[in-house]
Amino acid sequence: MKESIQRVGGAMAGMVIPNIGAFIAWGLITALFIPTGWVPNEGLSEMVGPMIVSLLPILIGYTGGKMVHGHRGGVIGAVVTTAIVVGSTTPQFLGAMAMGPLAAWVQKKVDGALQPATPEGFEMLVDNFSLGILGTILAVVSKNVIGPILQGITDFLGNAAGALVDAGLVPLADIPIEVAKVLFLNNAINHGVLGPLGAAEAAETGQSIWFLLETNPGPGLGLLLAYWFAGTGMWKQSAPGSIIIHFFGGIHEIYFPYVLGHPIMILSMWAGGICADLWFQITGAGLVATPSPGSIFAYLAVTPKGGHFAVLGGVLIGAVAAAVVGTIILRARPITETDAGVEDTIDVNVPTA
């Protein structure tokens, strides 16, 4: 089971890591040009939505398909991912990770059956039409069947977090929230569930703890610090740059592959998030609006007067707890590039992954 979970996480990380540059580009555009960014620009900020909703999931779907069946797998993976994107109102990274490799695996099986029986001279014709026809079928199925299932998963995780908060178990809400985040459902959970609840509470009291639960940059900072202190190879070398993008730029997506590549590191995120949320609950912390993007600077901008000690204390506690637990885990169970599926991404076995 451990090997299977690690292989799943490694395959997911292998789809994201080659596209980190695109994530950084999107993150910089977001941090700079959205209305709450460093240099707000209405025209340039129009790129933010299409990139997060369409470009990045399609890149992941293409990469996942290519890992399974080369360029043809990448093409059909992108086609099917586009269908999922069109059928959803939230960024479908999870859908891309699931359907990109699966579509490529189906295409690989079809090619294996057709190519030996294809007459000489008709190879290109058969290849193009088989991909086109299969892509059409899988696209229709994905939009009408897979899309609603993925949306249901998003709604379930969001409702679970909401139920825990309503029951007074604020720290435990971090468990479904962190799982949703590393599956790239962070925007759906935050803007679709926690944000509206926070806005309603802030309208009455002037602040809300709901705005702190998903956006806290502390646990992610602690995770990346742990990789910097105790990681190895590519993971250790890339951590400092990721810290800048995450903590100062507010792009939390940058640390998700670090959990997917070594799934036990979700314990580090839970430790940081639960400790921070407990502090927030004890001190009565809250923000006046959703920090966007979730950087430390955005946090400072929406912290109510007199609330800086409570809010920044939670960020610090989350970072320290995540860093300590993450470092202990990495010392006890080091991550390697082979373990995380980075070196063998061409040979991913879809049914296993």
pLDDT in tens, 54-85: 898 899 999 999 999 999 999 999 999 999 88
pLDDT for 203 beyond 60: yes
- Residue 208's DSSP bridge partners are 287
- Mean pLDDT of all residues in 35-45: 81
Backbone angles phi, psi at 47, to 5 degrees: -75, -20
Give the rounded percent of residues in the chain with a pLDDT score beyond 70.
Answer: 88
| Residue 344 banded pLDDT, cuts 50, 70, 90 | very low
DSSP string, 266-296: HHHHHHHHHHHHHHHHHHT--BSS--SS-SH
Does the pLDDT of residue 119 top 70, yes or no?
Answer: yes
Residue 240 bridge partners (DSSP): none
Of residues 125 and 88, the one with the higher pLDDT is: 125
Q: Among residues of the chain, what percentage have pLDDT more than 90?
A: 31
Question: pLDDT grade, residue 204 (50/70/90)?
Answer: confident
**Band of the pLDDT at 10, cuts 50, 70, 90?**
low
C-alpha pair distances (Å), 316 with each of 44, 188, 277, 280: 33, 25, 12, 11
**Range of 165-169, 190-194, 216-220 with top mean pLDDT:** 216-220
29 neighbors 47 (Cβ within 8 angstroms): yes
Q: Give the per-residue pLDDT at 4.
A: 65
Q: Which pLDDT tens digit goes with each residue over 241-294?
A: 889 888 988 888 888 888 877 888 999 999 999 999 999 989 999 888 888 778
Residue 249, CA distances (Å) to 64, 78, 188, 309 in order? 27, 28, 19, 22
Contact 87, 142 (CB under 8 A): yes
pLDDT in the model for residue 343: 43
pLDDT of residue 14: 76
Task: Look at residue 34 and tell me whether its pLDDT is greater than 80.
Answer: no
Average confidence score pLDDT of the chain: 83
Asked if 273 and 318 count as a contact pair (C-beta separation under 8 A), the reply is yes
Instruction: Say yes or no to pLDDT of 136 above 50.
Output: yes
The Cα–Cα gap between 142 and 139 comes to: 5
Of how many residues is the chain composed?
Answer: 353
pTM (2 decimals)?
0.70
Band of residue 352 on the pLDDT scale cut at 50, 70, 90: very low
How much is the pLDDT for 192?
66
pLDDT of residue 218: 94
The 10 Å Cβ neighbour count of residue 312 is 16
pLDDT of residue 100: 92
Q: Is the pLDDT of residue 94 over 90?
A: no
Question: Which of 105, 109, 123, 112 is CA-nearest to residue 64?
Answer: 105
CA-based R_g, the chain, Å: 21
pLDDT grade for 337, boundaries at 50, 70 and 90: low
**How confident is residue 350, by pLDDT bands cut at 50, 70 and 90?**
very low
**Residue 129 — pLDDT band, cuts 50, 70, 90?**
very high
CB-based contacts of 299, cutoff 8 Å, min separation 6: 215, 217, 287, 291, 311, 312, 315
**How far is 159 from 121, CA to CA, in rounded Å?**
56
Q: Out of 95-99, 103-107, 185-189, 191-195, give the one with best mean pLDDT.
A: 103-107
The model's confidence at residue 346, banded by pLDDT at 50, 70 and 90, is very low
Alpha helices in the chain, H assignment, sequence order: 2-16, 20-33, 42-45, 48-50, 56-86, 93-114, 123-141, 147-166, 174-180, 186-189, 195-205, 210-213, 218-230, 233-243, 256-260, 266-283, 296-301, 308-332
